[in-house]
Structure 1
Amino acid sequence: MNRDEALTLMYQYVQKDSLRKHMFAVEAAMRFYAAKFGEDVEFWGNTGLLHDFDFEIHPDLERHPSAGAPILREAGVPEEMVLAILSHGVETGVPRDNPLRKTLFACDEVTGLITAVALIRPSRSILDLKVSSVKKKWKNLNFAAGTSREEMEMGAQELGIELWEHVGNVIEAMRGAASELDLVGNPGLE
């Protein structure tokens, strides 16, 4: 499956701009880590791009991503990718027992927090976002309340990377997709 095919599938099932941007953010983070780990950048990126493709049709954790797996298989998505997508769901029972699965889980929640922090800054930009800004918002559980700090910590731990180093890596990855994420903003505006 190439990126154009993954995009076609994503656009077929995802209408909300915010969810699409989240999927692009996870794609960017997955591509970053694939390059870092010497893995297939396109395969890992497409896994990130498709990981929430069914969230609008299955918007609860009882069905997402499990109910989406048959759709992916019917569309010809490789089984390794389907299993990785299943493994990012805490309730699926699919183990996160390889680097692809661990990385997808580690990148999912943290992109949401990073995006939220970037959007409240005067610059509204990922380009000048620092890890320290994310740290400042970390303890405020009402901020980006839909993101799980516990899952972010667990993801970094499973990945074997210190949490704040991981946050820095994901910020760097998201900078490469700033236009697609609508996070170019006005860098340097304080």
Structure 2
Amino acid sequence: MSYEQFGMSREEALALVKSRIGNENLVKHCLAAEAVLQAMAAELGEDPDKWGLAGLLHDLDAETQPDLAVHTRETAEILRGKGVDGEIIEAIRLHNPQAHPGEQRTSRFHHALAAGETITGLIIATALVYPDKKLSSVKAKSVRKRIKEKAFARGADRDIIRECEKAGIPLADFCALSLTAMQGIAGELGL
């Protein structure tokens, strides 16, 4: 990984995440988003390091600014101060448009970050209903089935997950790609 070209090394980025986020599950969410975004970038011919860094850093202010009316504003300021790539900052800002009235996701990168970080919660919730609570037991078909169950993992907004198609990946492929990416770091996720 060569995140440095986008403003900081992976080690610096992970240290920043851990210094700003105390909740271990939220740190794991950021790691999962990183893995999914890298896989999406590879699938779409984009830069996996750029997209991965966005996934890793996207929720820096989730604990200090949990109100969706302001979440991502502090993150954007922190990252600007550290010289992080402007496109990364923009994608991070717009993964939560509630904090930026009048602005919308318009690029493949914007849609990918929003969909990629959102599906991680659905996949983790799916794994947690299995007896062994392991990602290795989950099949992509199960993730697709859970998308249709509105009462399951309500926080995982299905419309945002479906933005994978605006990024250029069909939903069924996106479920498989995201699951495989997360299975690849199951040890780090404790699943």
Asked if residue 102 in structure 1 is aligned to residue 111 in structure 2, the reply is: yes
Structure 2: gaps spanning 5 or more residues: 1-7
Tell me, yes or no, if structure 1 residue 49 matches structure 2 residue 47: no
For the structure 1 residues 157 and 34, does the alpha-carbon distance in structure 2 shift closer, same or farther, using more than 3 Å as the test? Answer: closer
The 5 Å alignment of 1:78-89 reads 78-89=85-96
* Residue 125 (structure 1) aligned with residue 134 (structure 2): yes
Structure 1 position 94, deviation (Å): 4.2
* Percent identical residues: 39
Aligned length: 182
Distance 1:137 1:102, change over 3 A: closer
Match of 1:34 in 2: 41
Which runs of 5 or more structure 1 residues have no equivalent in the other structure? Answer: 184-190
Aligned partner of 1:187 in structure 2 is none
TM-score by length of 2: 0.88
Distance 1:39 1:148 in 2: 25
Query: Residues 145-164 of structure 1: matches in 2 within 5 Å?
Result: 145-153=154-162, 155-164=163-172
- In the alignment, what sits opposite 1:188? none
- What is the rounded CA distance, in whole Å, between the counterparts of 2:174 and 2:22 in structure 1? 29
1 CA distance for matches of 2:168 and 2:42?
Answer: 16
- Structure 1 segments of 4+ aligned residues over 3 angstroms from their partners: none
Deviations along 1:76-109, one digit per CA (max 9) or x if unpaired, are: 2222211110121132244433332221112011
- Which residue of the other structure, out of 136, 157, 174, is the alignment partner of 2:145? 136
Contact 1:14 1:56 in 2 (8 A): yes
Residues 99 and 136 of structure 1, relative CA distance in 2, 3 Å threshold: closer
RMSD: 1.6
2:5 is aligned to none
User: What corresponds to 1:172 in structure 2?
Assistant: 180
Do the aligned partners of 1:3 and 1:42 also contact (CA within 8 Å) in 2?
Answer: no
Structure 2 residue 71 is the aligned partner of structure 1 residue 64? yes
Q: Residue 77 of structure 1: which of 67, 78, 84 is its match?
A: 84
How far did 1:152 drift? Answer: 1.4
One-letter code of the match for 2:9? N
